[in-house]
Each structure stands twice: as C-alpha cells, then as structure tokens.
Amino acid sequence: MPFARMFRIDLGRSVVLLAVLATFAALAIGLYASFQVQRQMLIDSTLEANRVYATKLADITEEFFANSRQQLGYSSGQISSRFGDDQALQDEARRIRMQVRRFNTVLVVDASGVVRAASPASRYLKGERLDNPGSREALQQRRALVSAPYVSSRDHLTVFISQPVFDPAGKYLGYIGGAVHLKRGGALSALLGEHFYKDGSYIYVVDRERRLLYHPQLERLGTVVGANSVIDAVLWGENGSRRLINSQGMDMLAGYAMVPSSGWGVVAQRPTEVTLRELDGLMLEVLGETAPMALLTLLLVGLLASLLVRPLRQLAGAATELDAPEALERLRRVRPWYFEAAQFRRALLIGASLLHQKIGKLNLEVQLDPLTGLRNRRGLTASIEQLRAEQQPFAVIDLDIDHFRQLNDNLGHERGDALLREVAEQLRNCAGPGDLPCRCAGDEFLLLLPEADAAAASRVAERLRQAVEALPPGPLGGVTLSLGVAAWPAHGESPEEVFKQADEALQRARQAGGNRLAVAGDAP
C-alpha cells in the first residue's frame, strides 16, 4: 500500500509535473526564439552590409574609370595639335604614367595601329604595330572606352582605357590609352585589395562573360564562374543582396553591384557559417550562465505548484473526515489559493527577467567590434536610425590610417592590430560624452557627434589628428591619419548623403598626401 500510494497519479503531482515541464519548455522556447531572431538579424545585417560594401566598391571602381578617362581626355587635347612631334608624345605618355600612377603602360598609337610613344619605353618599341583586342577595339570604336578584359602578349590579364585623338579639323589621328593589369601590380587590383577581409569574407569582380577579374585566390583569375545566381543578377544590372550556395558549394551571404561603364559585377560575400559562428558561441555561453538560474527557477516553480495544490489537498483531506471533531478547524486552517498563485506568477516573472537580461547582453555584444571594443556597423546603424527618427542634427568624422596596409605588412598583423587598438583609444579620448566612436572595417574609423556642426567636428578631428601624429616613435608611433568631416543637414538632405560627403572629403585628404583633414563642401 505505501508503495502504491507513492506512485499514484493525483492532482498534486500532475500540477507540479505540468508546471515544471511548462516552465522548462518556456525557457527552451525563449532561448530558441532568441537564437532564431538574432540569427536572422545577423544574416540580414550581413547581407545589407555586403550590399552597401559592394555598392561602395562599384562606385570606387566607376570613379577610377571616370578619372582615368578624364585624364586621358585632357592629354588627348594636349597632343592633338602636336601629333607629329614624337618627343612631345613620349613626354606626355611618360607624364601620365608617372603622375597618375593608374596605368601599368601608357601608349600613343596612330590611326594605323602603330605605336608612336610608350611609357615605359622598354615594353613597346616605337614603330611596332599593335594587334591586341584592346587596340583593335580602340581603333574601331574611335571613342572613349574601357575595353573588355583580355590577355596581353605578355600574359597579363589587362583592361585598356583609351581616348581618341582628333586634330582641330576633326580628323582621327589615333588614340592615347593606358593598360591596367588586373593581377597584382595593377592600380585597380591594389585599390580592391585594400578592402580584403580576414574573417572569411572577400570580394571578387566578374566581367560580362562571367570571367573573374579580381579574386583573393590569384590562381582563379581569368577563370569563368559557373552557375551562380548572384552573378546572374548583377550582370542583369541589379544591385542587391541574397543568400546562396556559390559555385564552390559554399553557403554565402553576398551583396552585389554593377560598375555601369564597364558592365562588371562587384560581389562582397561572407560565409554564412562565419557570420553565425559568433552567435553560436554567445548562445552557448548564455545557456551555460542561465542553466543554474534556470534550475533554481524550476525548483521554485515546483514549490509554488505544490503551494497551489496544497489547499486542495488539505480540503480533500478534510473532506474525508467531515464527521471528525476537528474537521471545521482544519478547514479554517486552509490558506487561500490565490496567495500561492501570486507567488507562482512572481517566479515566472523572475525567469522572464533573466531571459531578457541575457538577450540584452547578446544585443550589445553583436554591436561591438571584437578587436577595438568600439561600435561596429550594426551599432552605428542603430544610432543613425535613432538620430533620423528624432530629427537630431549631427556631424561625422570619417578617418583612416595613412598607408596602413604598408604598415601592417612591415610590422606584422599583431602589431597592426595593436595599432588599430591604439587609434581606437585615441578616438575614445577625443570623443565627447555623447559621441559614438565606431570601427567600420579594416583601418576605417568613424566618429558620430550628435548636436555638432562641421566646425565643432573639425576641431575634434584636428585634435585627434594631432594626438595620433604625436604618438612617440616606436612600434605604434610615426603614423598619421586622413580625416573627412561632414554635417547633417548642412551637407546633405539625408544621413546617407552626409556619410558620402564625409567619405569624399576623406578621399580628398588622402589624395592630398594624408595627415590632414578635409571638410565637405570646401574647395579641394
């Protein structure tokens, strides 16, 4: 009989068991739901970041071509009246190559395809007739163009940018053009290479024929990419982002954009596994820290459930002995059931509060850059959306480290990381209490200054520039910054336009030699 009573199913045990199971299920579902929400947020934010990144690189590449054509167009006008002077043509070819530093080779070719001048002169002989796709296309089109990529006679994957030369009477004399190697050593490859990630992310560029023009794996340059929905979309002229299984069978999160003048597609992508790896670790950490409190919560729930059924048990016991003298007294001693119900509710609130605290911690950690501790792009995006919603004016300082890639190569990656941390520390020191210092990517930093105008931001930027320049010589000294300043609404109708203006100001500061700042709207 005692054994049977121990294992019998009664209301008390059923309620306790159901309450414990329900609480455990709620905690598990909450953790699972939190994981799924954060997982999707990471995927969505990575897709958007890659889309913005690919668009930025496409714009940079388009600007590279536009500037190249502009430079060649100016030179075309300079030599049109001196096309018969070989020395003048040679001097102009050499000037362009040495001054612009965009072209591996600069050529002046007459209307019959014969080389009239070349820089460097050792690569082509004067009087040599060119017969490559870039030259043929330039002679046939007789207009400013960017050629389709081709393999040159010296086995270089090359794109040729050319500008026709006409005499004052409108007669076609030939063209002036520059060859850009797409492998290492070319200006365009170096420009794209500055944006290479170290966390499994990378960028690549394809032409209209799906041929790889830039890729971190050099052995793949020139190969044709097979089935790939992102390449299909970008070659149709779309700009966007999507998740896909690429031609190598990898699950990737890709953003893509087209370069209009050349029809190239720029793709920035990151493995989905790498994106979610940090979240997996954080969720395991949250689960490990939550487990003891979850166990305590389950024990408390069991106790509260027992208190919930205790009045019923007491009433049932008293009901079996109504004919006993003490029955009325026992009924009077039964405590109201709603008191225990309030305690049960309190236990659930404790469990929910613990879960929300862990979610809040997770939200904060995914917005921080693990190397410097500054806010990352996700944290910056959240702050921008808040400023936009409140219509609060702000200023932005866009900055990067001059020649960081060279410093990183010379000092090593560990010293390079230490340099990034030091610049981040200087950025914190110069930032005000309400300012938001961020690390966007690589050596690119940004300082968001709410309620500040361009003048105030310029003072902060100059103080930061001087602070970094004043670092003592040594492993982390001897470095400088280039900075761009813009303010909203003074320099744009939208925050995106202001950030673009700040980036353009940064580019002007960098092109002017670095270690300086430029303000949006100021004359270069």
Domain range annotation of the chain: 2-40+275-365, 377-519
**In the predicted model, what is the mean pLDDT of the chain?**
78
Tally: H helices and E strands in the chain:
14, 16
CA distance 203 to 447: 26
Q: 447 and 499 in contact (C-beta within 8 Å)?
A: no
Fold of domain 377-519: Alpha-Beta Plaits (3.30.70)
Whole-number Cα distances in Å, 494 to 210, 335, 382, 499: 36, 64, 15, 9
pLDDT at 485 over 90: yes
pLDDT tens-place string over residues 262-305: 888 899 888 888 888 877 777 677 777 777 776 777 777 677 66
Residue 62 amino acid letter = E
Location of structure tokens 């430029």: 518
Residues 6+ apart with CB under 8 A from 406: none
CA distance 44 to 470: 41
At residue 349, the pLDDT reads: 32
CA distance 351 to 359: 13
| pLDDT band at 173; cut points 50, 70, 90 | very high
Choice among 50-59, 190-199, 200-209, 433-442 with the minimum mean pLDDT: 190-199
At residue 407, the pLDDT reads: 76
Percent of the chain exceeding pLDDT 90 equals 8
According to DSSP, the β-strands at 516-519 and 481-488 are: parallel
Burial 155-186 (b: 16+ CB within 10 A, else e): ebbbbbbbbbbbeeeeeebbbbbbbbbbeeeb
Cα 127 to the chain's mean position, in Å? 49
H-helix or E-strand containing 430? helix 413-430
How many other CB atoms sit within 10 Å of the CB of residue 433? 4
pLDDT at 454 over 80: yes
Residues 6+ apart with CB under 8 A from 3: none
Two tokens, residue 427: 């950025």
H-helix or E-strand containing 423? helix 413-430
Q: 79 and 92 in contact (C-beta within 8 Å)?
A: yes
**Alpha helices (runs of H) in 447-494, residue ranges in sequence order:** 454-469
At residue 6, the pLDDT reads: 46
**3-state secondary structure at position 507:** helix
Kindly report the pTM of this predicted structure. 0.49
**3-state secondary structure at position 314:** helix
